[in-house]
Amino acid sequence: MAIMHDDAPPTTSKMKDIRDAGKEQLDPVANGSLIGRTVTINRPRAELFAYWADLINLPTFMDNVERIDMLSDTRSHWVVKAPAGKTVEWDAVITDKREGELIAWASTDDADVPNSGRIEFRDAGDRGTIVTATIAYDPPADIIGKVVAKLFQHEPAIQARRDLRRFKQLMETGEIATAAWTQKQLQEEKA
């Protein structure tokens, strides 16, 4: 008898085979962990998509991404902060892009931290737009303790949630909230 599964996203499943299926749907060759985070943003779908589609905007709200360079329309180079003032870098390619709906990417084969993901935009009526990030990442064992801890601030799901919150703040309010009260404190926060 076929088991009927519930309607919850695979990123929230307690069952490994369902999470694996979710990963495979994201990227047939993805290994490692799968995380998902959703936020509702009170802005039109097209506007959010446009901001995200221009990848060089992403470091504005992704605290650990120092810089993204566009190498071509589909290929980008990511420079990400690592401990002790170092950085890790990799190339990523856009694997799918549907105007106003979805952008999917995967790192190239030589990436230190192989990762792939998808950002989706769906209408939420008078609440704006539902934005869902789904990310698979597979850090090699030797750097897991260092780079990944810094890159994802101990838990990738938390980092993804923080990045999405900052994206929401920027889109809804035009700025990113901070409790600092001097420029110096603000720079220290961002370092």
Nearer to another protein, 72 or 182 (CB): 182
- E strands along the chain, which residues? 33-41, 65-70, 75-81, 87-98, 102-107, 115-123, 129-137
**DSSP class of residue 47?**
H
When the beta carbons of 57 and 95 are compared against another protein, the nearer one is: 57
Which listed range, 9-17, 93-101, 102-110, 175-183, lies at the site for another protein (CB under 8 A)? 175-183
Does 142 sit near another protein (CB under 8 A)? no
Show the binding pattern over residues 14-53: x = contacts another protein (CB under 8 A), - = does not: --------------------------x-x-----------
User: Using CB under 8 A, which of the segments 73-81, 86-94, 140-148, 157-165 binds another protein?
Assistant: 157-165
191 binds another protein (CB under 8 A): no
Backbone angles phi, psi at 22, to 5 degrees: -65, -40
CA 82 to chain centre: 17
> Judged by CB under 8 A, does residue 122 bind another protein?
no
- Residue 166 identity: R
Q: Does 156 bind another protein (CB under 8 A)?
A: no
CA nearest 131: which of 53, 51, 47, 45? Answer: 45
165 contributes a contact to another protein by CB under 8 A: yes
- Nearest 10 degrees: CA dihedral of 176, 180, 183, 185? -120
181 binds another protein (CB under 8 A): yes
Q: Is 2 helix (H, G, I), strand (E, B) or coil?
A: coil
Provide φ and ψ at 83, rounded to 5°: -60, 160
Interface positions with another protein (CB under 8 A):
40, 42, 127-128, 158, 161-163, 165-166, 168-169, 172-186
